[in-house]
Structure 1
Amino acid sequence: MKTITIPGLNKKVTTLIQGSDYFRPSIYERVCSVLDRYVAIGGNTIDTAHVYCGGESEVAIGQWMRDRNNREDVVILTKGAHHDQNGPRVTPEAISNDLFESLERLGTDYIDLYALHRDDPSIPVQVIIDALNEHIQAGRIKAIGGSNWTVERLQEANEYAAMNGLVGFTFSSPNLSLAKAKEPFWSGCVSVDESDCEWHKQYQFPLLSWSSQARGFFTGRFTPEDRSNEDLVRVFYSDENWERLRRAEQLAKEKGVTTIQIALAYVLNQPFPTCALIGAQNDEELLSCYEGSKIELTQKELTWLEKVENSVK
């Protein structure tokens, strides 16, 4: 499987990252089946978060790593400082609390990739960077990133880190997909636009995309008339996205692959380092993603897939 390099981490990160937002110890056999198969096809990076399944996702992953004795072979991406019922909590105290709980659940003494699950623009970047660097210096974190952070805040944080001899963010995890979001999935979520991608290209800044396949939009199960999935309608139903779907279907036929594999290839063929967080739950879905990750698209094909505005007016 293809890999990228993320500064601060001495392991390569595979371009397909297995998601775990449905993992629980109560379905441990299923967890093992998915993770064992994922590793067998060359994957090494697992995405989780302090809030996933009330922490049970991290517990299940920790149990699997202990049973397989493979902690050093695995890259763990976990996230903390998600808001709660009282609002944002991107503070040094919340970061420490979530990090220590994640370490305990995972049964490890360090996190490879640690991302702040949300941002709180009211908190100065220096407060956040200082807090994260304490954990880096203590060996609890290898590399830090922002999940759902704007590129402006990422750059501000990294400029502060550079001026003060500290470690800055070395990856970002927003949404990037061929279907362009009309509005955020949930409050505080970030989907990158064209100018954001230019920033990532300029700095060759790694992007780990969640909902990289647009939550099933490219599976062929949905039509403009089918409005049963309210979230999909709210976020992705637009004339432009239906045209992108049509073009992805056309290109898939030409290449002898599936439409959803073209959507995945779109994310993985950007002119900057990218990974796709996938939600595969069985062998069929894993193999589909694996085959999609091997598809190469030219810049001309990427542009044709994406830029459809004039054709739908």
Structure 2
Amino acid sequence: MKKIKIQHTDLEIAPINFGGNVFGWTLDEQKSFEILDKFVGAGFNFIDTADTYSWWVNGKGGQSEEIIGKWLKNRGNRNDIVLATKVGSETKEHGFDISRKHILKSADESLQRLGVDQIDLYYTHFDDNVTPVEETLSAYDELIKAGKVRFIAASNISPERLIESFDSAEKNGLPRYVALQPHYNLVERSRFENDYAPIAETYGLSVFPYWSLAAGFLTGKYRTEADFDNTARGGGIKKYFDDKGKRVLKALDMVAEKYDTKQATVALAWLLAKPLVTAPIVSATSASQLETLFAAPKLPLDAEDIGLLNEASK
């Protein structure tokens, strides 16, 4: 499979980023190993997790990193994987925190759980909006110089603080973010396209959208009010079942039928057709779901398809 280089790095990835939030939550260790084996076996190599996954299970998190770490050790394939994790998220034990003290402590804990010497891509997961950006970047600088982190990236940071981070990095000779992980999909477009896309273009950021399938809404399996009541995620995605959401589902149906493929495959292919998007983040809990993801990079949507999806999702 053709690999893509993450901007400003020597990291080469296949164009789907597996979201490890399911490890230790909806997938136990054995099932996680099976999914990871299939993902890598199909030629993909980019795995995303966070120090707090899955805090909603035990109040602390760390399960996802531990499972990935055991898998890497068992399979002996660390050098074949581009590994991303994050710092700064809120848990029951602490609030959002990107202070130097928290970053340095959390990085060591993540390295221990993952069983690795170095994190390829280390994200600011959430901004605490208090810590000076120079302090945060200086902490990352320490980690990079110590060989514990290779490159840094940003997720839930305001456009203003993101730009301030780039200014501080240039002014103070500190590491700069090389990638952005925004909330972006067919039913969540405006925030990224209006506020973040110009920043990504200006600073040459690779873009890895999270919730690429809108927590499952864009798979097309939710078609009636009752469908949302029969799933744990129903309450969170029912908001999408409005006029726009229904238009998007109809457009996905049309394109999926045209290519004899799944709606989720089309939704991911739409993201991949965006010039700024490098690799959507998406999870799977079964072999059939994985096949849906694997098909997306092979689906070349034409201008008519993209126009139809763009119009429906306006």
Q: TM-score, normalised by structure 1?
A: 0.88
> Which residues in structure 2 correspond to 1:285-296 (within 5 Å)?
285-296=289-300
- Matching residue of 1:188: none
How far apart are residue 10 of structure 1 and its match? 2.5
Query: Which region of structure 1 is more displaced relative to structure 2, 191-200 or 29-38?
Result: 191-200
> Which residues in structure 2 correspond to 1:225-264 (within 5 Å)?
225-226=225-226, 227-228=228-229, 229-234=234-239, 236-264=240-268
Matched, 1:14 2:45: no
AA at the equivalent of 2:249:
L
CA shift digits 1:14-39 (9 cap, x unpaired): 21112222323993321221111111
- Matching residue of 1:153: 161
Partner of 1:275, secondary structure, is coil
Partner of 1:146, secondary structure, is strand
CA shift digits 1:71-95 (9 cap, x unpaired): 1111111011112345321211111
Partner of 2:184, secondary structure, is coil
Check 1:309–1:274 CA distance in 2 against 1; reply closer, same or farther (3 A cut): closer
- Matching residue of 1:34: 35
CA shift digits 1:49-79 (9 cap, x unpaired): 1111321211111111111111111111101
Check 1:178–1:107 CA distance in 2 against 1; reply closer, same or farther (3 A cut): same
AA at the equivalent of 1:140:
K
CA distance in 1, matches of 2:237, 2:313: 20
Check 1:286–1:199 CA distance in 2 against 1; reply closer, same or farther (3 A cut): same
- Matching residue of 2:308: 304
CA RMSD of aligned residues (A): 2.3
Identity of aligned residues (%): 29
CA contact (8 A) 1:171 1:205 kept: yes
Query: Which region of structure 1 is more displaced relative to structure 2, 31-40 or 199-208?
Result: 199-208
2:275 pairs with 249, 271, 276, which one?
271
CA distance in 1, matches of 2:307, 2:159: 22
Partner of 2:28, secondary structure, is helix
Matched, 1:196 2:196: yes
Query: Which region of structure 1 is more displaced relative to structure 2, 283-292 or 16-25?
Result: 16-25
CA contact (8 A) 2:11 2:82 kept: yes
How far apart are residue 305 of structure 1 and its match? 1.0
Query: Which region of structure 1 is more displaced relative to structure 2, 13-22 or 199-208?
Result: 199-208
CA distance in 2, matches of 1:248, 1:264: 11
Check 1:23–1:304 CA distance in 2 against 1; reply closer, same or farther (3 A cut): same
The count of aligned residue pairs is 301
- Matching residue of 2:50: 49
Which structure 2 residue ranges, 5 or more long, are not aligned?
Answer: 55-60
Check 1:124–1:224 CA distance in 2 against 1; reply closer, same or farther (3 A cut): farther
How far apart are residue 172 of structure 1 and its match? 0.9
CA contact (8 A) 2:180 2:200 kept: no
CA contact (8 A) 1:20 1:46 kept: yes
CA distance in 1, matches of 2:198, 2:299: 22
- Matching residue of 2:146: 138
AA at the equivalent of 1:73:
D
AA at the equivalent of 1:145:
A
Partner of 1:243, secondary structure, is helix
2:176 pairs with 168, 184, 189, which one?
168
CA contact (8 A) 2:159 2:195 kept: no
Check 1:42–1:151 CA distance in 2 against 1; reply closer, same or farther (3 A cut): farther
How far apart are residue 250 of structure 1 and its match? 1.2
CA distance in 1, matches of 2:130, 2:142: 21
CA contact (8 A) 1:252 1:258 kept: yes
CA distance in 1, matches of 2:205, 2:63: 31
CA contact (8 A) 1:205 1:273 kept: no
CA contact (8 A) 2:117 2:148 kept: yes
CA distance in 2, matches of 1:233, 1:181: 17
CA contact (8 A) 1:180 1:241 kept: no
- Matching residue of 1:187: none
CA distance in 2, matches of 1:268, 1:18: 15
- Matching residue of 2:57: none
- Runs of 4 or more, structure 1, over 6 Å off, are none
How far apart are residue 232 of structure 1 and its match? 0.7
CA distance in 2, matches of 1:102, 1:224: 41
Partner of 1:222, secondary structure, is coil
AA at the equivalent of 1:283:
A
Which structure 1 residue ranges, 5 or more long, are not aligned?
Answer: 183-190
- Matching residue of 2:83: 76
